Amino acid sequence: MNTFLLSPAYGGGKRARLLLDGRGAFPLAVRFRESGASIGEVFTFLSGLYFRGKLAYAHAFGRPLVIVPGRGLLDPDAVVTGEELRSIAAIAVDLDEPRFRDPLERDAEALGASLHASDIVVLLGSIATGKYVDAIEGKLDGRLRFPAAFVGRGDMSRGGLMLRCVSARSELDYVALPGSIRRGKRPPRLEP
């Protein structure tokens, strides 16, 4: 079974303030304030199309795990509270930040140890920089892949592409990181 690692949403922006300021009257804000909400729901709200596409795609084609600053890899159903979201938002997504790097490396190592011979891990996030790849690749014994169609695409295009793949029940092609092109020319726009 494929495991998909979903890069995190930014927890410090305007949408995060809508959840954290205690005044939101929409259902997610009320539930989040009263009892917390799943990290999948929270990151989907914070990021919109991109995270929604990643989460839907990962559920359709394998097992999703969310990269969460300070927490490592979490099941998207794991509940977080306002206090936890503030803590998550305070941690830079940067390998020089041990509060980000150490839990991610720990959980990537545990994931690597749990994989069967035919399992692969697919990163649904930025592959152009090393902010995720450099922390997890060495822990997965050569099993880390990424969608080739991500090269050159922005976040919104990636989100739309993944949602289309879910609708069509058509999985993307994955490539290994060593020797692959991770930055490239922008592909043609997706057809409306």
Euclidean distance between CA atoms 179 and 22, whole angstroms:
48
Residue 63 lies in a domain: yes
Residue 106 lies in a domain: yes
What are the tokens at 112? 């690597």
Residue 163 lies in a domain: yes
Q: Say if CB 153 and CB 161 are below 8 A apart.
A: yes
Residue 28 lies in a domain: no
Per-residue pLDDT of the chain in tens (192 residues, 90 and over written 9): 899 999 999 888 889 998 988 888 899 999 999 999 999 999 999 998 899 999 999 999 999 999 999 999 999 999 999 999 999 999 999 999 999 999 999 999 999 999 998 999 999 988 767 889 889 999 998 899 999 888 877 788 889 999 999 999 999 999 987 655 555 566 566 566
How many distinct structural domains can be found in the chain?
Answer: 1
Euclidean distance between CA atoms 150 and 11, whole angstroms:
23
**Which pLDDT score, from 0 to 100, does residue 97 have?**
97
**Which pLDDT score, from 0 to 100, does residue 22 have?**
83
**Which pLDDT score, from 0 to 100, does residue 23 have?**
84
Q: Say if CB 39 and CB 64 are below 8 A apart.
A: no
**Which pLDDT score, from 0 to 100, does residue 131 have?**
87
Residue 183 lies in a domain: no
Residue 182 lies in a domain: no
Residue 106, domain extent:
3-10+48-77+93-176
**Which pLDDT score, from 0 to 100, does residue 150 have?**
86
**Which pLDDT score, from 0 to 100, does residue 179 have?**
57
Residue 161 lies in a domain: yes
Q: How distant, in Å, are the alpha carbons of 24, 50, 131, 159 from that of 57?
A: 29, 11, 22, 9
Residue 38 lies in a domain: no
**Residue 105's CB: how many other CB atoms inside 10 A?**
18
